[in-house]
Structure 1
Amino acid sequence: MNLARASNVRHEFYKAVWFYLKVVWPIFSILLLVIITFGLIIAHLEGWGPLDGIYFAFVTGLTIGYGELVPKLGVSRVLAILLGFNGVLMTATFAAISVRAIEVTVTAARKEE
C-alpha cells in the first residue's frame, strides 16, 4: 500500500470515528457527566478537593486505579463501584465505535481495489 492510499485510509477511519461518536454523543456525554458528578459527590463526602474527586472518578472509571486516593466511607465505596461499571460501559462504547469505524473503512478500501 502506498503512502497516499494509507493516508486516505487513515483519514476515512477518523471520519468514521467522528461520525459514530456524534451518533452516540448523548449517551457518551451522560456517562461523562455521571463520572464527574460521582467524583464531586465522593470528594465532598471524603473531604477532598473537587479536582481530586474528579481525578479519582476518572482513574477509577477508566480502571487505572493508582490507589493514591482511597474512599473510606461506605457510601463513597459504593459510588466508586458504580464508577467502575460506568467507566467500563464508556470504554466499551468507545471501543465499539472504533471497531465499527474499522469495519466501514476496510469495506470502503476493499471496494476501491
Structure 2
Amino acid sequence: MNFAHAKHIRREFYKTVWFYLHVVWPILSLIIISIVLIGLIISYLEAWSPFDGIYFAFVTGLTIGYGDFAPKLAITRVLAILLGFNGILMTAIFASISIRAIEIAVRAAERDKH
C-alpha cells in the first residue's frame, strides 16, 4: 500500500466519523449534559466544589475511576452508578461510529483497488 492510498483511506475514515458524529450529536449532547448535571448534583450533596463534581462525573462515566473522590451518601452512590451507565453508552456510541467508519473506509479502499 502506498502513502497516497493510505492517506485516502484515512481521509475517508475521518470524513465518515465526522458525518456520523453529526447524526448522533443530539444524543451525545444529552449524555454529556446529563453527566455534567449529575456531577453538579453530586458536588452539591457531597459538599465538593462544582469543578470537583464535574471531574468526578467524567472520571466515573469514562470508567477511569482514580479514587481521589468517593461519594459517601447513598443517593450520590446511586447517581454514580447512573454516571457509569451514561459513560458506557457514550463510549459505545464512539466505538460504533469508529467501527462504521472503518468499514466504509475499507470498502472504499477495495472499490478503488478494482
TM superposition score category, shorter chain reference: over 0.9
Distance (whole Å) between structure 1 residues aligned to residue 42 and residue 83 of structure 2: 11
Q: Which residue of 2 aligns with 1:30?
A: 30
Distance (whole Å) between structure 2 residues aligned to residue 11 and residue 46 of structure 1: 46
Q: Which residue of 2 aligns with 1:18?
A: 18
What is the TM-score with the length of structure 2 in the denominator? 0.97
2:82 is the counterpart of 1:106? no
Residue 46 of structure 1 deviates from its aligned partner by 0.4
Distance (whole Å) between structure 2 residues aligned to residue 52 and residue 4 of structure 1: 46
What is the TM-score with the length of structure 1 in the denominator? 0.98
Residue 35 of structure 1 deviates from its aligned partner by 0.5
> Which deviations, in whole Å up to 9, do the C-alpha atoms of 1:4-26 show, x marking residues without a partner?
11111111100000000100000
Cα RMSD (Å): 0.5
2:70 is the counterpart of 1:70? yes
> Where does 1:28-67 land on structure 2 (aligned, <5 Å)?
28-67=28-67
Q: Unpaired runs of 5+ in structure 1?
A: none
Matched residues, percent identical? Answer: 65
Residue 28 of structure 1 deviates from its aligned partner by 0.6
Which AA in structure 1 matches 2:12?
A: E
Residue 108 of structure 1 deviates from its aligned partner by 0.9
> Which deviations, in whole Å up to 9, do the C-alpha atoms of 1:63-86 show, x marking residues without a partner?
010000000011100000000011
